[in-house]
């Protein structure tokens, strides 16, 4: 029988734990008996989480800041994390020539730089301890060119490609550390509202997304894609030229509206 990749782990550090997919990871991993280290920026939500999960540790951190990323790695060491759910992320919607540069650089700092720093910091920590599991939260967006959300799609491509590459490094070096990348399609969370978008396809629930992901992690899967139609999009992106898959994406994105335009 295949070894369960999660059963010998005890403490999960979850970024983006105050909302959506990260909050659902907290719920399901807590129900499985994991200790939790929960992080986000929203102090009130963190306080509520600490009451909901007695014994959990909460860390307020703005992961757009490098120093907060490094502080979080120290907290992971201090509280003996052996799973990292690298989930915090944001999106920016609109034509590249019109989007706000501050929001875009914030997004790059969070989706790319913070994800990279935490991935590396926790990998070093877990390798030194001879065990650990890192889940980077990408998106099916990482497979495609994404007109009207070009920076977001490119940021998720970074997460996908880096995780795939590091997975192979670990495999060929017989590392005890496991890594996976979660690439969901639309999930019912506050993501779109926070990105200022309305009119999106509803998608699966965070509960379904996380349940499927935990099953994938138990099997040590590199690529975890919940929902059949999302798998079809990922496959289609490999079969079609980028101009075609990107044009389909453009048509889908055009149907969305910026909340400020309503």
Ligand X SMILES: NC(=O)c1ccc[n+]([C@@H]2O[C@H](COP(=O)([O-])OP(=O)(O)OC[C@H]3O[C@@H](n4cnc5c(N)ncnc54)[C@H](OP(=O)(O)O)[C@@H]3O)[C@@H](O)[C@H]2O)c1
* Residues forming the site for ligand X (CB under 6 A): 16, 18-22, 40-42, 45, 61-64, 87-90, 110, 137, 139, 184, 186-187, 189-191, 194, 203
Q: How far is the CB of 36 from ligand X (least distance, A)?
A: 14
As a dihedral over the C-alpha atoms of residue 174, residue 133, residue 192, residue 207, rounded to 10 degrees, the angle is: 120
Are the C-beta atoms of residues 107 and 155 closer than 8 Å to each other? yes
Instruction: Give the list of residues 6+ apart from residue 87 with CB closer than 8 angstroms, or none.
Output: 14, 15, 16, 17, 21, 22, 25, 135, 137
Cβ proximity to ligand X: between 131 and 234 the closer is 234
State the minimum distance, in angstroms, from the CB of residue 188 to ligand X: 7
What is the nearest approach in angstroms of ligand X to the Cβ of residue 189?
Answer: 3
- Residue closer to ligand X by CB (options 4, 60) is 60
> What torsion, rounded to 10 degrees, do the Cα atoms 117, 122, 127, 131 define?
-150
CB 90 within 8 A of CB 114: no
Taking the complex as a whole, the smallest distance from the CB of residue 3 to ligand X amounts, in Å, to 28
Nearer CB in complex with ligand X: 21/36 = 21
Work out how close the CB of 194 gets to ligand X at its nearest, in angstroms, rounded to a whole number. Answer: 4
**CB–CB of 89/104 below 8 Å?**
no
Nearer residue to ligand X within complex by CB, 126 or 152: 152
Q: Which lies closer to ligand X via its Cβ, residue 176 or residue 199? A: 199
Q: Give min distance, CB of 152 to ligand X, in A.
A: 7
Nearer to ligand X, 141 or 175 (CB): 141
For residue 199, the SS3 value is coil
Is residue 22 within 8 A of residue 16, CB to CB? The reply is yes
| Chain Cα centroid distance, residue 9 | 20
d(CA 217, CA 225) in angstroms, rounded, equals: 11
């Amino acid at each position: 029988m295949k070894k369960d990749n999660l059963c010998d782990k005890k403490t999960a550090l979850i970024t983006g734990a105050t909302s959506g997919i990260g909050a659902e990871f907290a719920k399901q991993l807590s129900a499985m008996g994991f200790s939790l280290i929960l992080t986000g920026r929203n102090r009130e939500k963190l306080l509520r989480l600490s009451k909901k999960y007695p014994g959990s540790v909460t860390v307020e951190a703005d992961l757009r800041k490098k120093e907060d990323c490094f502080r979080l790695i120290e907290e992971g060491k201090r509280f003996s994390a052996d799973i990292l759910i690298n989930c915090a992320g944001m999106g920016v919607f609109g034509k590249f020539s019109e989007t706000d540069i501050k929001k875009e650089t914030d997004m790059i700092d969070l989706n790319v730089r913070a994800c990279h720093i935490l991935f590396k910091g926790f990998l070093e920590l877990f390798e030194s301890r001879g065990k650990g599991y890192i889940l980077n939260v990408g998106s099916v967006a990482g497979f495609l060119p994404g007109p009207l959300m070009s920076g977001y799609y490119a940021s998720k491509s970074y997460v996908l490609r880096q995780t795939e590459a590091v997975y192979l490094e670990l495999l060929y070096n017989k590392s005890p550390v496991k890594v996976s990348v979660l690439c969901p399609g639309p999930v019912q969370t506050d993501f779109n509202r926070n990105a200022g978008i309305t009119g999106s396809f509803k998608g699966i629930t965070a509960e379904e997304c996380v349940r499927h992901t935990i099953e994938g992690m138990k099997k040590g899967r590199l690529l975890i894609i919940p929902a059949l139609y999302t798998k079809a999009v990922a496959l289609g992106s490999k079969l079609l030229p980028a101009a075609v898959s990107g044009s389909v994406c453009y048509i889908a994105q055009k149907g969305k509206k910026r909340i400020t335009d309503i």
